[in-house]
Copies of this chain bind each other. A is one copy, B any other.
Amino acid sequence: MGGLENGATYNQNSVPSTNKTSLSPDSIINLDQGDPTLFEPYWRKMGDKCTLVIGGCDLMSYFSDIGNICWFLQPQLGDAIKGLHRAVGNAVTDGRHFVVGTGSTQLFLAAIYALSSPSASHPVSLVAAAPYYSGYKDQAEFLRSGLYKWEGDARTFDKDGPYIEVVTSPNNPDGAIREAVVNLGEGKLVYDLAYYWPQYTPITHPLDHDIMLFTFSKCTGHAGSRIGWALVKDREVARKMTEYMQISSIGVSKESQLRAAKILGVLSEGCQNLGTAASENFFEYSHRIMRERWESLQNVVKNSKIFSLPRFPQDYCNFTGKYTDSNPGDARNKILIIIISSSSSSSSSSSSSSFEIGQPNNSAVCSKEDIDWESLLREHKIIGRSGEKFGADQKYVRISMFSPPEAFTLFLERLSAIIDITNGNVVGGEERSVIKCS
């Protein structure tokens, strides 16, 4: 996932950084949400290729495909999903049941419903390795469900009995490539692969997990459609996930499904001509956009005496047929900003926030000892999300890098001002150091 989360998510008093708002130097920049409107120009340029026309008598029935376990899945969308995964090579689809949801958000709830048991004497434990997507905890707890119980950080989980581990890879907020952590006998895994697309990370191989969640929002930027899909190995799990959607919303918007089918189809076609077409396909375009932002960010952060950007490991991307090199600007990764302390204590592994800074994501994590980063940024009229929400602590903050160009520019200006201030506060000439907590 990676979109909105509850709590401080939607701040009614600030202007979300959408394309529709015009910002002044004094505007509050809301980088808390991951609203992917920065990709709009590409889809506008595609013109009529992606236009969807729906007649007044279309799509009236509850039913889409009565022979399918997921009877509300429009066949066109199933075909488009299969075609896209084949073109990109990021997930195995053969023999899988496809389940559609109102965003992967709804599918996450469907998955934990499907993997829990109404007859169990205790709720099944639900864990994810910190820092984890802050939405999981909210979703697990908001209804006080007796089916599952949020137990927090998978790395410190040691209870007996059944558990569900959510593995987000690339991770939100820090972009790390993840594997399961708990690895005990009675565990079930849910893989949230919202960012496993070429613009964010090298596609090393088609993933082959039991439950894999994807979202239209992060694949193409169409967050308003509310479409996610799950590739599910086990028939009974697929049936129960379908049951979840039936009880909670009697299926999923068919208009959105047809739209997603159309746009994913165009996306797949674009992949056929990779490297040969006169114009960029969407993955090339979006990677370029993110790389340009990364370079802009580098230009600002390089002046800092206490901040720096991380280096990211190389890997071979099957989709592009290239290696990423160690310059994150060339990495097909989403931008991750790490702001780190020069104090020696911050480079120790005694930090309670024990996570690897890995490949970047669309978000940012900042860490500096003794600073509540969310508050500091807020003083500069930048809204981020405190690390506390991600199972880390307040010395970290996540900042979405998905904002429209105007908001991003303003963010860089303000970050530059923060750097000037913190440079002025540095005593002596201590070397920068990268925080790597294990």
Show the binding face of A for B, using Cβ within 8 Å: 3-4, 6, 9-10, 12, 15-16, 18-21, 33, 35-37, 39-44, 46-47, 49-57, 59-64, 66, 71, 101-103, 105-106, 109, 113, 118, 135, 138-139, 142-147, 217, 221-227, 243-244, 246-256, 259, 263, 266
Cβ-defined contact, B255 with A253, below 8 A: yes
List of B residues within 8 angstroms of A252 by Cβ: 102, 226, 253
A61 and B113 alpha carbons, distance in the complex (Å): 28
Copies of this chain in its oligomeric complex: 2
Set B6, B19, B62: member contacting A35, Cβ < 8 A: B62
Please, how many angstroms separate the alpha-carbon atoms of A20 and B63 in the complex? 10
Instruction: Verify A105–B249 contact, CB threshold 8 A.
Output: yes
Given contacts A39-B60, A250-B103, contact A15 B66 (CB under 8 A): yes
Asked if A142 and B247 make an inter-chain contact with CB atoms under 8 angstroms apart, the answer reads yes
Q: Which 6 A-B pairs have the closest CB atoms?
A: A50-B56, A144-B146, A253-B253, A255-B255, A43-B57, A44-B57
Q: Which residues of B contact A223 (CB under 8 A)?
A: 60-62, 250
A53-B52, A54-B259 are known contacts. Are A139 and B247 too (CB-CB below 8 A)? yes
Contact between B56 and A44 (Cβ–Cβ < 8 Å)?
yes
Q: What's the least CB distance linking A261 to chain B, in Å? A: 12
Q: Which of B36, B44, B243 contacts A6 (CB 8 A)?
A: B243
Distance of A113 Cα from B139 Cα, bound (Å): 13
Q: How many Å from the CB of A246 to the closest CB on chain B?
A: 6
Given A43-B56, A56-B51: A103 and B16 interface contact (C-beta under 8 Å): no
- A20 nearest in chain B by CB position: B61
Cα-based distance from A60 to B43 in the complex (angstroms): 10
- Find chain B residues with CB under 8 A from A3 CB: 62, 250
Among B37, B56, B60, B250, the residue within 8 A (CB) of A61 is: B37
Taken together as a complex, chains A and B put the C-alpha atoms of A4 and B245 apart, in Å, by 11
Note all chain B residues with C-beta closer than 8 A to A9: 246
Complex alpha-carbon distance, A263 and B59, angstroms: 13
Complex-state Cα separation, A221 to B58, whole angstroms: 11
* Cα of A33 to Cα of B244 in the assembled complex, Å: 17
A53 — which chain B residues lie within 8 A by C-beta? 51-53
How far, in angstroms, from A37 to B102 measured CA to CA in the complex? Answer: 23
